[in-house]
Structure 1
Amino acid sequence: MRLVQVFVPRDELDLVIETAEEAGVDYTVSRDTDRGEFEALVSIPVPPPAVEPLLEALRAAGLDERSYTVVTAAETIVSKRTDELTGRFSGTRISREELRARAADLAPAASTYFGLLIVSTTIATAGLLLDSAATIIGAMVVAPLMGPALAASVGVIVDDESLATRGIALQVIGLAAAVLTAAVMGWALRGTVLLPPGFDITTVPQIRERITPDFLALFLALGSGVAAVISLTRNVGSVLVGVAIAVALVPPAATAGLGIAWGDPPVVLTAGTLVLINMLSINLTALLLLWLSGYRPERTESVERVYGRLRSRVAVLLVAIVILSVVLGGITYGTYRTATVEHDVKTELETMNEAELAAGSELQFRETAIDYELIDVYTGGRPTVTVHVDRPPGEGLPDDFADDVRDRLESAAGVDLEVIVELATTLRSG
């Protein structure tokens, strides 16, 4: 339930009472005995779906806009009269005014926002370098990224340009700050005793997950946008939804920053693409769901203009997402190709081991290293496969042994390979 309290200006009490009676809601009047600007306070308990129609009726009746109308959440109301009201005003949607206020509250002051975001990014960067999923998730609890995304979308829908601009600015500058924070942290840690010599960020599973994304990554961003709107309009689960949004944005932003620190353009490109497509997807789903939920500007004459602006923004977001999806699709395909080659090579080496064992040979293909990166798929780079072969003392091998190994591996993988065969004589004590 909500308690709507109207500070009634002089000579407008009858207007407010008539509006409440026409709406069929209960009310009480507390008259002001001094000679101030307001003559009375009218308190009206209503269900959440009734707030917006009541406020619209008061505006339509001509209530002075300089008056105060306060909407507060009533935690408990003891009365059987609420059953009738709840039955008349069914639904769970909050009013447009509450929506705007909540969105504004979720976008904190700049100092608070950037302070929490830098702390969150620092923790997330440490989690990435440590390959610790728990640390990364813990950092997401701190990240305040849900508010700006919702503020931008709500501002567009209710025609509050300052709220929309603030939400967009906080998102863009905030993610840039996250990338910069991770880059500075990575630069400071690189080459120190905290990281092993020759540390390669692309070998860390948590980082590799962010630089080899596929289309399934879109589901997190799209789902987060939908969940954020539901959370905002129904005031439930905002903390958990905020974590989901942060997971979609902060770790890939931190990964892009680490790519800058390590001077690795492919890492910056892939992680940066993931950040942008997630941010755009969250904003797109929030915009569409808010409009489909029935939210409109306060003034009727503004609806057409806001609808045109909404279509323009949705079109821009869709075009940007499609373009970035092409990049994401290329990453998906490249990742699939590199993984396929690696799998086929390893499978063929296992088959070769089994064949040697069946033939009574002690020759063994023991280890492999495959150098085939995402960029090689599109630049035509040949995969380099290093095969470690154990052989007993005195066992000779044909001169074209390396060529035979290469031919078999190329046949299995379906691509041209550069194969390096390392021979090792194995001595075993009985």
Structure 2
Amino acid sequence: MLHLRLIVPREKTDDVVRLIDGTVGTTHVVVMPGVAREPAGDVVSCDVAREAGDELLGGLQRLGIEECGSIAVENIDLSLSKRAVRAEKEAPGEPADAVLWEHLVEETHEESTLSVTYLAFMTLATMIAACGVVLDNAILIVGAMAVGPEFGPLTGISTSVVQRQPRLALRSLNALLAGFALAMAVTVVFSLLMDAGGLFTEARLEGDRPQTGFVYAPDALSFVVALLAGVAGTLSLTSAKSGALVGVAISVTTIPAAANAAVALSYGDMAQTAGSSKQLLLNLGAITLAGTATMLLQKWLWGRQRGRLHTRRA
């Protein structure tokens, strides 16, 4: 269940209450006239089943509540109410299948913001992966994959395509390109310093690496794995099952490929640099493609389900 807290101008309160009452899956409606001070107006709150949340939010936006008032949405971790149980049963579909598009846009907007923290995580992850590829240490590679924040901008690009938000696409692309560019540049310097200290050697990079050699050898399987990871990552975000993102992060070869390209470049090995760059681009493209296709399918399926519900009600 979701809890909505609305600040509504007095002249729109009746319209908002009618909208809530007419939305299947809503309950616990509370109206507090005149209690809001900034902006001035009434406070209206209600609980709504997650699968009905997107429809209700869309209706509130059409009434202009986000412009003249406020819409706040919270997840309800526990609700002991027979009315809430009945509301969830009446709502179409299953909560895990519902997509709150406005929430997804807001979340990907935050995750794709080019900030100091984002750049720090990108750079640290790439340097950790650099140690992993030189030492042929799979544990370090997995750790670097988990630290890397690149899935946020990739999801932002997919979301922008589905929701037709070019600004989000530009923001996400900027974060992605700037993040990898800075991380790889810093990792080149890091590699040179590690070599000067005797911790990295070209012989280790060029030697047999059974654990990490895949990062500069892209093939069809790499593309398939990235596609599957893109689908899984998108589903984890849209269904609010963020725990699955860790598994997604350690199944794609983005950060390790960028790290291997940077280390190889520091030693002048253009063959490995090119192979790693191809691996990186292949994974980025496959994840974006899979994410976009998954969201489009989700939107189509959910639209059909809501359409059938409205037909039955009519």
Partners of 1:224 and 1:244 within 8 A in 2: no
Q: CA deviation at 1:58?
A: 3.0
Helix, strand or coil for the counterpart of 2:199?
A: coil
Structure 2: runs of 5 or more not aligned: 302-314
Matches within 5 A, 1:4-403: 4-24=4-24, 25-26=26-27, 27-33=29-35, 37-61=39-63, 63=65, 65-89=67-91, 90-91=93-94, 92-190=97-195, 192-195=197-200, 199-205=203-209, 206-236=211-241, 237-241=243-247, 243-244=249-250, 247-294=252-299
Q: CA deviation at 1:15?
A: 1.0
Cα distance in 2 for partners of 1:208, 1:146 equals 23
Helix, strand or coil for the counterpart of 1:72?
A: strand
Cα distance in 2 for partners of 1:191, 1:208 equals 24
Partners of 1:29 and 1:42 within 8 A in 2: yes
Partners of 1:10 and 1:37 within 8 A in 2: no
Cα distance in 2 for partners of 1:123, 1:5 equals 44
Cα distance in 2 for partners of 1:260, 1:34 equals 60
Q: CA deviation at 1:187?
A: 2.2
Cα distance in 2 for partners of 1:22, 1:193 equals 71
Cα distance in 2 for partners of 1:127, 1:183 equals 14
Cα distance in 2 for partners of 1:7, 1:44 equals 12
Helix, strand or coil for the counterpart of 1:194?
A: coil
| Structure 2 residue aligned with 1:310 | none
Partners of 1:4 and 1:51 within 8 A in 2: no
Partners of 1:207 and 1:255 within 8 A in 2: no
Name the aligned partner's letter for residue 88 of structure 1.
E
Partners of 2:19 and 2:59 within 8 A in 1: yes
Q: How many residues align?
A: 294
Name the aligned partner's letter for residue 16 of structure 1.
V
Going from structure 1 to structure 2, the CA distance change for 1:257 and 1:147 (only over 3 Å counts) comes to: same
Going from structure 1 to structure 2, the CA distance change for 1:242 and 1:106 (only over 3 Å counts) comes to: farther
Going from structure 1 to structure 2, the CA distance change for 1:214 and 1:109 (only over 3 Å counts) comes to: closer
Q: CA deviation at 1:23?
A: 2.0
Percent pairwise identity: 26
**Higher percent of residues as helix:** 2
Q: Indicate the structure (1 or 2) with the bigger Cα radius of gyration.
A: 1
TM-score (normalizing by structure 2): 0.86
Q: CA deviation at 1:229?
A: 0.7
Q: CA deviation at 1:114?
A: 0.6
Going from structure 1 to structure 2, the CA distance change for 1:250 and 1:45 (only over 3 Å counts) comes to: same
Helix, strand or coil for the counterpart of 1:235?
A: coil
Name the aligned partner's letter for residue 264 of structure 2.
G
Matches within 5 A, 1:411-422: none
Cα distance in 2 for partners of 1:59, 1:186 equals 51
Going from structure 1 to structure 2, the CA distance change for 1:179 and 1:62 (only over 3 Å counts) comes to: closer
Going from structure 1 to structure 2, the CA distance change for 1:33 and 1:270 (only over 3 Å counts) comes to: closer
* Root mean square deviation of aligned Cα: 2.3
Helix, strand or coil for the counterpart of 2:296?
A: helix
